[in-house]
Structure 1
């Protein structure tokens, strides 16, 4: 259930029966030949599909995250850490005021994980809450399925190439890219990082059959649904 398909009074009634909700968070950043909004698209879609049978409201995805390493790729939008934490805290406060007490954050971007300490601090101030951060693409079962299909999987490679992250006017190449030097790219600025990673894929082929992608998606949705249903206390 998307929160955009509800009005305020329906939310007020809903939280009296069930105080769970889902907040997807993503990033707008380079993904080689895939959509700049890949992280946002995947986080929101997996959250909506996971929550739908349960009737749990899903807020619109927070599209912008922390992507300073990709700042020199046109189209990338990155927030500073202090800005992101402030925005995220304001969102949690608003969700709390609406009556939700169990909040699942479905994260689609590894660069957003510094919010972990903030979540802990926020729960200390709001002790009747439970907040979980779920990195859907690298959750245990989902990542196990990825590695079972092809262990050479990374940012902007085949593992993010779903029918809904592809672009009609941007054909995707089909070759195996060698693994980048992660240590070398982590110690330089965004300009030199762009030079070292080229089009943006970290390593692996750029695409795999849709049958492989649907296997991963099925596991990702099921694992996210399990997080909505269990482990709140």
Structure 2
């Protein structure tokens, strides 16, 4: 259930019997022909789908993350690492104050990795609270499902081209892009990155069949649900 569909009294009542909660982490950045909010949309969607049968509340996704390498693409928003770490830790303080003791950060963007270190550091001073940082898209079973269909798929490829992220007015092409040279890409600045990536796909098919999409998504939802279930000790 979404926090957006609850009031404070319902949250207080929920906390009498359960102390789990989910916070999706996203980013607003280029995703080739797809929505700028892909990472935010998918992190929240997989969290909500996974948590619904368990009755665990899910906060709205934090939309902004750390993505300086895409700063050359129009519309991208990137936070400083220090800002992001402070945001994560302030949020955890608030969740603890409310009474949540088992918190899952469902991450949808690779650049948000500092949130994992921020959560680990925060737990040093809050040992009574458990925080899990979870990258939904590269969890073992989900990644295996993706690789089985397309070993080269990556950022802005078919694995992110889903009914909730594609744009009707900007259809994706139907071919497989060769993977980028990650060693070269790692040292590029934002403008070099834009020139090198062209439309933005890192490699792989731009689109696949609905059957392939939903098969991958079901694996992702079930794997995320298992994280919410535990173990927690």
TM range (shorter): over 0.9
Q: Do the aligned partners of 2:88 and 2:119 also contact (CA within 8 Å) in 1?
A: no
Residue 191 of structure 1 aligns with which residue? 191
What RMSD, in angstroms, separates the aligned Cα atoms of the two structures?
0.8
- Residue 4 of structure 1 corresponds to which residue in structure 2? 4
User: Could you tell me which residue of structure 2 aligns to residue 204 of structure 1?
Assistant: 204
Counterpart of 2:43 in structure 1 is 43
For structure 1, the 5+ residue unaligned runs are: none
Secondary structure, counterpart of 2:133 in structure 1: strand
Q: When the two structures are superposed, what TM-score results if normalisation uses the length of structure 1? A: 0.98
Q: How many residues align?
A: 233
1:177 CA displacement: 1.1
Ranges of 4+ aligned residues in structure 1 off by more than 4 Å: none
In 2, distance between residues paired with 1:71 and 1:30? 9
1:192-212 Cα distance to aligned partner (Å, 9 max, x none): 111111110011110000100
Question: Whole-Å Cα distance in 1 between the matches of residues 188 and 220 of structure 2?
Answer: 33
What CA distance in whole angstroms lies between the structure 1 residues aligned with 2:17 and 2:184?
A: 52
CA distance in 1 between partners of 2:231 and 2:62 (Å): 24
Unaligned regions of 5+ residues in structure 2, if any? none
Offset, 1:148 = 1.1
Q: Tell me the secondary structure at the aligned position of residue 196 of structure 1.
A: helix
C-alpha separation between the residues in 1 aligned to 2:228 and 2:179?
35
TM-score after normalising by structure 2: 0.98
Give yes or no for the alignment of 1:118 onto 2:118.
yes
Deviations along 1:53-98, one digit per CA (max 9) or x if unpaired, are 1110100000100010000100111001011111111111111111
Q: For residues 172-195 of structure 1, what are the alpha-carbon distances to aligned partners after superposition, in whole Å with 9 as ceiling and x for unaligned?
A: 111221121111111121001111
Q: Deviations over 1:106-140 (max 9, x none)?
A: 00000001222211111111111111011001001
Shift, 1:17, TM fit:
0.8
Moved more, 220-229 or 177-186: 177-186
1:231 Cα shift? 2.0
